[in-house]
Amino acid sequence: MPLSEVILAKISEWTNPPYEEDCINEIKELLSQNNEKELNERFAVELEFGTGGLRGIIRNGTNGMNKYVVARATQGLANYVLASGESDPKAVIAYDSRLYSKEFAMEAAAVLASNGIKTYIFSEMRPTPELSYAVRKLGCVTGIVITASHNPKEYNGYKVYWKDGGQIVPPHDENIIREVRKVEKITDVKKSSFESNLKNGMIQWIDSAIDEPYIKEILSLVILPEEIKKSNVKIVFTPIHGTGGTIIPKVLSSLGFSDIIYVQEQMKGDPYFSTVRKPNPEERDALDMGISYAQKHGADIVIATDPDADRMGIAIRDKEGNFKVISGNHIGAIIEYYVLSMKKEKGILPSNGAVVKTIVTTDLQDAIAESFSMKVFNVLTGFKYIGEKIREFEETGDYTYVFGGEESYGYLMGTYARDKDAVAATVAIAECCAYLKNRGKTLVDYLNEIFQKYGYYDDRNVSIDAEGLKGAEVIAEVMKNLRASSPEKISGLKVVKVIDYKNDTVHDAPGSSKALPKSNVIKYILEDHSTVTVRPSGTEPKIKFYFSARGKDMKETDFRLTSLINGFIPEIKDFISKRINE
């Protein structure tokens, strides 16, 4: 595709000062190669500052994660903070182990400080939930985490938090987006050097001042500390080259877990994630090295956290000695059941307790919560909406938050943070494992007990990648087609209800007056109560499909899920492939 005049104008801007020499040379090299496809990808659009912030491929250009895009986004955020009327505004910044994470964090700090916003920044990588905690602990108006979570190594991102410690939600998200869009050129950014702001006190390094109270909050979540001390449970842990290695070993040691094997090759930060294909604890191959350690040492469980330590995955030993990777939905069900049952047993389960989950998370968690007389709220995908409910409960006093989770391996047991916390989740699953081992049981046994009590629920997710500008267009076309012509049957099962979260009014709980924000999600409910949910990913170039079923045993449930996938996915996959290759 030939370069348009608009793109050529952007290229001209990016190949002259104040853009730095490395950026200028990189773009000029693409011009000399006549690489119009790559130049179009980099300059045809702006990297979108969405409701969660930025996420994109690390590269120079308007459609990439780079210091210039970070600076402009931060200037927009600074403008919004200053216009909000907060006196003596402060901010805090954390970052993960990815390429340029610290550099992007320092760039953001310099912009905020230069705009008169006192900024705290960790001197080394730290977990995202610790940033969420730090926002409120330090009395900040806003916070930033530089991370692309579990995306491939080519990506980085930028997440924004507000003063309640949660990721930005309405009205702040749309208002910040508007301010960011007003910052059209790099010359609109007000910035003096990081070093000068550090020297004048507008930037301040923080580490132990937040680490210590954050760890104390995590330790306070333990329900049965005596079970840990008398257990000989053997745990393999890996942070998959990410931030979990900075905090989790300290926490586990403090609690008295005495037999922990660390995957040494993955304990240090590595921006290339050299030992895995992708640093995603949802995928078995990211746990392979941990499983090898577990088999060698006879461990009971493998625990893995993603690069920014907000998601946790596990593999557990079955009776045959094989390790089984557990889904995010089932991990959540295990933790939820353990927390609710142990708190009830100790008499500390609140009578007005609430469980908050997302609309694509298993109904098994609803069934568990309701059996303990907990109120269940279903919110949009994204933990920020769970964080929003925590704030709402604190303001109204109507409910007490007990547990929150989402199918994408994110969980939170307390209210000290307002984002999913793999540090706390690691402690919870390790405690549960210790409790069970003291009774001669395993997590496999525990999960089977849950199935026997509530039903054999299972879920499968299918993602179809569609990269680049063309991919985004095709994904939008798929959603448009599904709305224009809804299927009457899926795999021979009648569709009895369609929920369009973009056009319908949907409430977060029965009897609640709170309507969910509009979202590009469609859910099909079938005659056997199975569901199929479709949504474009908000953080990756893909469209996601969530299949959920329940059967009289896991074999029947598995058959139903396979049938649903085979009856729905091939036609859409074929359509996407053909359209992208046109």
CA–CA separation, 233 vs 231, rounded Å? 6
Nearest to 431 by CA among 204, 284, 185, 223: 223
Specify the 3-state DSSP secondary structure of 420.
Answer: coil
Whole-model pTM over 0.85: yes
Same domain, 449 and 463: no
Q: Do you know the residue count of the chain?
A: 582
Dihedral class, residue 516 (left if φ above 0, else alpha if ψ from -120 to 50, else beta): beta
Q: Which residue has the tokens 């210790």?
A: 434
3-class SS of residue 329: helix
How many domains does the chain divide into?
4
**Omega of the bond leading into 18 within 30 degrees of 0 (cis):** yes
**Encoding tokens for residue 413?**
């047991």
Tokens of 248: 């989790």
The reply to whether 317 and 413 lie within a common domain is: yes
Residue 539 clears pLDDT 80, i.e. is over it:
no
Residue 1 has pLDDT above 70, yes or no: no
Strands (E), 88-232: 90-95, 118-122, 142-146, 155-162, 203-206
pLDDT of residue 72: 97
Q: Are residues 441 and 467 in the same domain?
A: no
Please, are residues 461 and 406 in contact by the beta-carbon 8 Å criterion? no
Spatial separation of the C-alpha atoms in residues 275 and 269, rounded to whole Å: 12
69 and 28 in a common domain: no
Which residues carry out catalysis?
A: 149
The predicted-structure confidence for 485-528, as pLDDT tens digits, reads as follows: 999 999 999 999 999 999 999 999 999 999 999 999 999 999 99
The secondary element (H helix, E strand) that includes residue 218 is: helix 208-219
Q: Are residues 384 and 259 in the same domain?
A: yes
Residue 541 and residue 447 share a domain: no
Whether residues 114 and 170 share a domain: the answer is: yes
Q: 330: closest CA among 343, 318, 345, 313?
A: 313
What residues pair up with 376 in beta bridges, in sequence order? 355
Same domain for 462 and 423, yes or no, is no
Tens of pLDDT, residues 400-446: 999 999 999 999 999 999 999 999 999 999 999 999 999 999 999 99
Range of the domain at 466: 456-580
The Cα–Cα gap between 371 and 337 comes to 10
Q: How far is the C-alpha of 554 from the C-alpha of 445, rounded, in Å?
A: 14
Tens-place pLDDT, residues 163-190: 999 999 989 999 999 999 999 999 999 9
**CATH code, domain carrying 88:** 3.40.120.10
